[in-house]
Amino acid sequence: MKERFDFNEIEPKWQKYWAEEGAGNSSADPSKKKFYCLEMFPYPSGKIHMGHVRNYAIGDVIARYKRMQGFNVLHPMGWDAFGMPAENAAIKNNVHPSKWTYENVAFMKQQLDRLGLSYDWDREVTTCNPEYYRWNQWFFLKLLEKGLAYRKTSFVNWCPSCATVLANEQVVDNGCWRCDSVVVQKELEQWFFRITRYAEELLQGCDDLSGWPERVAVMQKNWIGKSEGAEVDFSIEGRPEKLKIFTTRPDTLFGVTFMCIAAAHPLAEILTSDKPALEKVKAQYGKEDDKVGHFTGHYAINPLDNGRAPIYIANFVLMEYGTGAIMSVPAHDQRDFEFAKKYGLPIKTVIQPAVNSQQSDESLTEAFEGEGVLVNSGSFNGMRSKDAKAAIADFVERQGLGKKTINYKLRDWGISRQRYWGTPIPIIYCDKCGAVPVPEKDLPVILPDAVQFSGTGGSPLLNIKEFVNVDCPKCGAPGRRETDTMDTFVDSSWYFVRYCSKRDEGPLNKNNIAYWMPVDQYIGGIEHAVLHLLYSRFFTRCLRDLGITTQSEPFRNLLTQGMVCKETWKCPEHGWLFPEEVSDGRCPQCGKAVDKGRVEKMSKSKKNVIDPDALVKRYGADTMRLFSLFAAPPERDLEWSDQGVEGAYRFLHKIWGLVFRCRQDILRGREIASQNGHSPLIAPLLRKTHRTIKKVTSDIEKDYHFNTAIAAMMELVNEMSSFKSEKDEEKAMFYMAVQNLILMLFPFAPHFAEELWSEIGETRGIYRHAWPEWDEEFAKEEEVELVVQVNGKLRAKLLVPAGLSDEEAKDKALNDAKIKEVTEGKNIKKVIIVKGSLVNIVVAGGV
RNA sequence: GCGAGAGUGGCGGAACUGGCAGACGCGCUGGACUUAGGAUCCAGUGGGGAAACCUGUAGGGGUUCAACUCCCCUCUCUCGCACCA
């Protein structure tokens, strides 16, 4: 055994060993309890970053821990390999997206292996492989059959920089989720997945996601955005058209004093002759600072009381929600109130907060949006607004004036992308037959290799005659192939199902899927709270309805890990600086004092990244894993600290040194321990070891708080460091402590643990060993510190035998010299005893 | 504006169901070993104080024998939603 721990030697050695043993592999086996542990697969952008390291370290600890707990663990990895960066690289560097992608995959795979991650590579998925994406196409055809995929022309989000369409979920603050460019609206014919058919189910399902962070479920609920109300038809004075509005407040129908329609509403063009005014309102569409409107000169008739309501075109009314038209009740809606004040429109109160609070309409300073009692509402007067909602909606429906409606914000998922590097949509257009699906037997529709990237936008597929020109499968006439490709979120919506079967088993093996699904623990960033996680929930339901799985929810437990952050440095003139550029707090270019910026998410642009490769070279994979698990609990942001890494490195060395120095004692202890009839000596180290096992186990089980689990192991090591083993029994005990420590350390620092495991005389790999158990008897303290308070203030600490009765504890406390002094001559009113830990003596008149 | 989460030493972070605030690590201080130390080991380390002791979990109030923990108010930060009718 070497005196110093040499990670360069031992880490590759054990990686090779695990690979040969197939230590990460798994097979479906209904006789065993399964555990599916999954980390979000990466986009192969070139090399891994610290966010990946953290994500995968967390997953690997869980996978290894669960294996030791006896679970049949599925822990796969793959590549989200279609997407824009490959295409951009192709344009920029004249390298084919396929070559670029596969090279990145090879490089990153090697990086992951160097971290000692226990994946089952037999199930590796690469989404740009035809054997994978043919199933995207197959699902597309199935969804088409079920009416869940359809084509329509509509205004869609267009990112000018990416030269492609984006789904609603992919627009963040009116910018592109990938490149931040301002998104514009463009009218295009596109393919959609009818996710809205599952809106209600997806919403309801949010309440069953007990293993998810609540905020993620809340974000999905908000995104689905259900609201219940009614659609009501208003007639237009002197015109044949009807004006259909949606409202969640039918109880305020009698309070309507005007109507508003969106500038893009079909009636807007018809009802106003003043086109410049209409354009003006259009230009202000969606601007939140000001409400702008234009009176059309027409009036709508309230179907309930035949009141006349002027129709306005207003910038704050959204065409994409509800019917694009609203009834305005300024007394009970703040937006309508503001609009009414600006344009001098009447305000009519129809709900009183309390029965006797009369207030004139003119004196209102804001809308009253709460609940109350109806007034000025005909036969509904006196009804509670809560009840009136249903009553008026019912009335409207019975009279044929409208109907009760549920509205969702969720829109169908637009999946067409005008890009090359994605799954071809299996459709052929024929002048006679229309959009004809490619027959299943012709799948996959292979993405052609030989393409030219102009970089000027537009899919290069358009220019490939052999691809585009194809006969109609139905009538045989010359047709034209769809050149749009699928959104890459389609790829990631079912990859976790593909993993259930090995590469040679066929992708949709129902037995495998039934055994492994759902994912027991999913780990990834919060940025997919709506995107990928919502699409996957939708897709899983589609698979369920296709009979492929019986599950509705793909991910039982979700852990959203925090970001990896680091401090930043910034020169007021030259911007972000690398930490090593900054010497004595000055900018290397201009010599000006630099600002120590905030701690921010690692990013190349802020120059605060740490390269995992450099770290592996310097400290090894185990140290890097250990630090990233120790520095913060997994769901919280992690602040990178170079000195903290040193600390983790030191910790491993400390253990190594301990085993190195005491090796003979340990081996002797092992012999003693293996002898029959040996019973362990009850001593502090034994107690500490059992308590550590208990603590580490429960910290992992409860929310995966690895930071405190590692801290507990550190405590144990500290205690072991000062332990002297002279007698055989002590050696046996020390051996027992070392053995358990190594076992517990294994999921965190697996190479290191394997090496020490063999150094203490084991011949079978530790990866097959069971997780240690603790004995509650041994974990008990024999002496405890009894805290004695007087009026809640700490006055003494007494070392007493464990299991003291309340009476004994009280006696001990009251007879303590210090306590006697403090309570001398005072009237003891009460003594509170917390079993085995604390006595609080309450005396009159303070201390 | 609405919703959620958070605020604890010089720093990252601990603290069960209300019961010793600051586990563990980093940093710092002192010491040992050493030609040397940015290695290693040992000790100390919330603040004030010589000490007894006092004080301390964003700020203010409350409940309680006892509050980081529960309740009310205020401030700050982060995230999400944001004219959704």
If 0-12 CB within 10 Å is exposed, 13-18 middle and 19+ buried, where does residue A573 land? exposed
- Residue A718: nearest nucleotide (C-alpha to C1'): B24
Q: Mean pLDDT, to the nearest integer, of A195-221?
A: 91
Query: What DSSP state is assigned to residue A181?
Result: P
pLDDT at A833: 87
In this structure, the dihedral spanned by the alpha carbons of residues A630, A633, A639 and A641, taken in order and rounded to 10 degrees, is -10
3-state secondary structure A533-559: HHHHHHHHHHHHHCCCCCCCCCECEEE
- Residue A316: nearest nucleotide (C-alpha to C1'): B83
User: With the C-alpha atoms ordered A662, A663, A664, A668, is the resulting torsion angle positive or negative?
Assistant: positive
Q: Identify whether the C-beta of residue A114 lies closer than 8 Å to the C-beta of residue A122.
A: no
List all residues 6 or more positions away from A770 whose beta carbon is below 8 Å from its beta carbon. Answer: A68, A69, A70
Q: Identify whether the C-beta of residue A374 lies closer than 8 Å to the C-beta of residue A383.
A: yes
Chain B: nucleotides below 7 Å from protein CB are 3-5, 11-15, 19-21, 23-27, 39-43, 53-54, 65-67, 79-81, 83-85
The answer to whether the bond into A444 is cis (omega within 30° of 0) is yes
Q: Identify whether the C-beta of residue A116 lies closer than 8 Å to the C-beta of residue A60.
A: yes
Strands A638-639, A575-577: pairing is unpaired
pLDDT at A354: 66
Q: What confidence category does residue A439 fall into, taking pLDDT thresholds of 50, 70 and 90?
A: very high
- Residue A314: nearest nucleotide (C-alpha to C1'): B83
pLDDT at A455: 60
- Residue A226: nearest nucleotide (C-alpha to C1'): B84
Is 70 exceeded by the pLDDT of residue A677? no
Strands A402-407, A227-236: pairing is antiparallel
pLDDT digits over A518-552, tens only? 999 999 988 888 889 999 999 999 999 999 999 99
Q: Identify whether the C-beta of residue A423 lies closer than 8 Å to the C-beta of residue A82.
A: yes
- Residue A642: nearest nucleotide (C-alpha to C1'): B26
Cα A322-A323-A327 angle, rounded to 5 deg? 95
List all residues 6 or more positions away from A570 whose beta carbon is below 8 Å from its beta carbon. Answer: A576, A577, A594, A595, A597
List all residues 6 or more positions away from A618 whose beta carbon is below 8 Å from its beta carbon. Answer: none
Domain boundaries, chain A: 20-125+492-560, 136-194+414-488, 227-407, 578-609, 638-779, 783-843
Query: Of A478-482, A500-504, A683-687, where does mean pLDDT reach its minimum?
Result: A683-687
CA-based nearest residue to A272, from A327, A315, A313: A313
| β-pair partners for A75 | none
Is 60 exceeded by the pLDDT of residue A356? no
Query: What DSSP state is assigned to residue A586?
Result: B
- Amino acid identity, position A127: T
CA A310/CA A651 separation, integer angstroms = 76
CA-based nearest residue to A351, from A321, A381, A306: A381
In Å, what is the separation between the CA of A666 and the C1' of B42?
Answer: 24
In Å, what is the separation between the CA of A747 and the C1' of B57?
Answer: 34
Residue A226 phi, psi dihedral angles, 5° rounding? -80, 135
Is 70 exceeded by the pLDDT of residue A845? no
| Strands, E assignment, A306-443 | 308-314, 325-328, 351-352, 373-374, 402-407, 413-414, 416-417, 427-430, 434-437
CA A546/CA A422 separation, integer angstroms = 24
Q: What confidence category does residue A655 fall into, taking pLDDT thresholds of 50, 70 and 90?
A: very high
Q: What confidence category does residue A741 fall into, taking pLDDT thresholds of 50, 70 and 90?
A: very high
CA A398/CA A390 separation, integer angstroms = 12
pLDDT at A194: 95
Query: What DSSP state is assigned to residue A86?
Result: H
Distances (CA, A) of A352 to A333, A356, A391, A833: 14, 8, 17, 56
Q: Mean pLDDT, to the nearest integer, of A214-221?
A: 90
CA A88/CA A164 separation, integer angstroms = 13
- Residue A408: nearest nucleotide (C-alpha to C1'): B84
Q: Identify whether the C-beta of residue A227 lies closer than 8 Å to the C-beta of residue A405.
A: no
Q: Mean pLDDT, to the nearest integer, of A468-489?
A: 95
Distances (CA, A) of A61 to A515, A670, A704, A735, A750: 22, 27, 9, 24, 9
- Amino acid identity, position A844: A
Q: Identify whether the C-beta of residue A794 lies closer than 8 Å to the C-beta of residue A770.
A: no
- Residue A328: nearest nucleotide (C-alpha to C1'): B85
Give the architecture (CATH level 2) of A20-125+492-560. Answer: 3-Layer(aba) Sandwich (3.40)
Query: Of A401-415, A510-524, A814-828, where does mean pLDDT reach its minimum?
Result: A814-828
In Å, what is the separation between the CA of A731 and the C1' of B78?
Answer: 52
Is 90 exceeded by the pLDDT of residue A647? yes
Q: Which residue has the higher pLDDT, A751 or A778?
A: A751
pLDDT digits over A759-769, tens only? 999 998 998 89
Distances (CA, A) of A35 to A78, A200, A331, A701: 18, 30, 57, 14
List all residues 6 or more positions away from A713 whose beta carbon is below 8 Å from its beta carbon. Answer: A692, A696, A741, A744, A745
Tokens of A644: 């903290």
Is 60 exceeded by the pLDDT of residue A313? yes
For the beta carbon of residue A458, count every other beta carbon within 10 angstroms: 14
- Residue A787: nearest nucleotide (C-alpha to C1'): B20
Query: What DSSP state is assigned to residue A372?
Result: -
Q: Mean pLDDT, to the nearest integer, of A791-820?
A: 83
Which residue approaches B11 most closely, CA to C1'? A641
In Å, what is the separation between the CA of A629 and the C1' of B22?
Answer: 21
In Å, what is the separation between the CA of A47 and the C1' of B37?
Answer: 37
Residue A216 phi, psi dihedral angles, 5° rounding? -70, -45
Task: Go through chain A and tell me how many residues it has.
Answer: 847
- Residue A317: nearest nucleotide (C-alpha to C1'): B83
> Could you tell me what percent of chain A has a pLDDT over 70?
97
Q: What confidence category does residue A246 fall into, taking pLDDT thresholds of 50, 70 and 90?
A: very high
pLDDT at A529: 86
Task: Assign domain A227-407 to a CATH class.
Answer: alpha beta
Q: Identify whether the C-beta of residue A391 lies closer than 8 Å to the C-beta of residue A441.
A: no
- Biggest CA–CA distance in chain A, Å, is 110
In Å, what is the separation between the CA of A624 and the C1' of B38?
Answer: 20
Q: What confidence category does residue A358 fall into, taking pLDDT thresholds of 50, 70 and 90?
A: low
Is 60 exceeded by the pLDDT of residue A355? no
Q: Identify whether the C-beta of residue A780 lies closer than 8 Å to the C-beta of residue A788.
A: no
Query: What DSSP state is assigned to residue A79?
Result: E
Strands A227-236, A164-166: pairing is unpaired
pLDDT at A536: 96
Tokens of A669: 């202890």
pLDDT at A810: 85
Tokens of A787: 């805290």
Instruction: For the domain covering A136-194+414-488, report its CATH number.
Output: 3.40.50.620
CA-based nearest residue to A408, from A221, A253, A265, A263: A221
Instruction: For the domain covering A783-843, report its CATH number.
Output: 3.10.20.590
pLDDT at A359: 60
Tokens of A126: 């690469």
| β-pair partners for A799 | A785
Distances (CA, A) of A251 to A162, A340, A349, A677: 46, 19, 12, 82
Which residue approaches B26 most closely, CA to C1'? A644
pLDDT digits over A267-306, tens only? 999 998 888 998 888 888 877 778 899 999 999 999 999 9
pLDDT digits over A556-612, tens only? 999 999 999 888 888 877 888 887 777 666 777 787 777 777 788 888 888 888 899
CA A683/CA A225 separation, integer angstroms = 61
For the beta carbon of residue A650, count every other beta carbon within 10 angstroms: 11
Which residue approaches B39 most closely, CA to C1'? A650
- Residue A339: nearest nucleotide (C-alpha to C1'): B83
- Amino acid identity, position A511: N
Q: Mean pLDDT, to the nearest integer, of A819-831?
A: 82
Q: Identify whether the C-beta of residue A571 lies closer than 8 Å to the C-beta of residue A554.
A: no
Q: What confidence category does residue A45 fall into, taking pLDDT thresholds of 50, 70 and 90?
A: very high
CA A500/CA A504 separation, integer angstroms = 12
Within this chain, domains A20-125+492-560 and A638-779 share the same CATH topology: no
For the beta carbon of residue A680, count every other beta carbon within 10 angstroms: 16
In Å, what is the separation between the CA of A524 and the C1' of B19?
Answer: 38
In Å, what is the separation between the CA of A791 and the C1' of B18?
Answer: 16
- Taking only Cα atoms into account, the Rg of chain A, rounded to an integer number of angstroms, comes to 34
Tokens of A752: 């290191």
pLDDT at A184: 84
In Å, what is the separation between the CA of A617 and the C1' of B82?
Answer: 47
Give the DSSP letter string of A340-368.
HHHHT------EESSTT----GGG-SS--
Indicate the average pLDDT of chain A. Answer: 90
Which residue approaches B20 most closely, CA to C1'? A787
In Å, what is the separation between the CA of A466 and the C1' of B46?
Answer: 75
In Å, what is the separation between the CA of A611 and the C1' of B11?
Answer: 23
In Å, what is the separation between the CA of A315 and the C1' of B83?
Answer: 9
Which run of H or E residues covers position A725? Answer: none
In Å, what is the separation between the CA of A731 and the C1' of B38?
Answer: 36
Task: Assign domain A638-779 to a CATH class.
Answer: mainly alpha
- Residue A214: nearest nucleotide (C-alpha to C1'): B4
SS3 call for A201: helix
| β-pair partners for A312 | A260, A295
In Å, what is the separation between the CA of A127 and the C1' of B79?
Answer: 32
Is 70 exceeded by the pLDDT of residue A440? yes
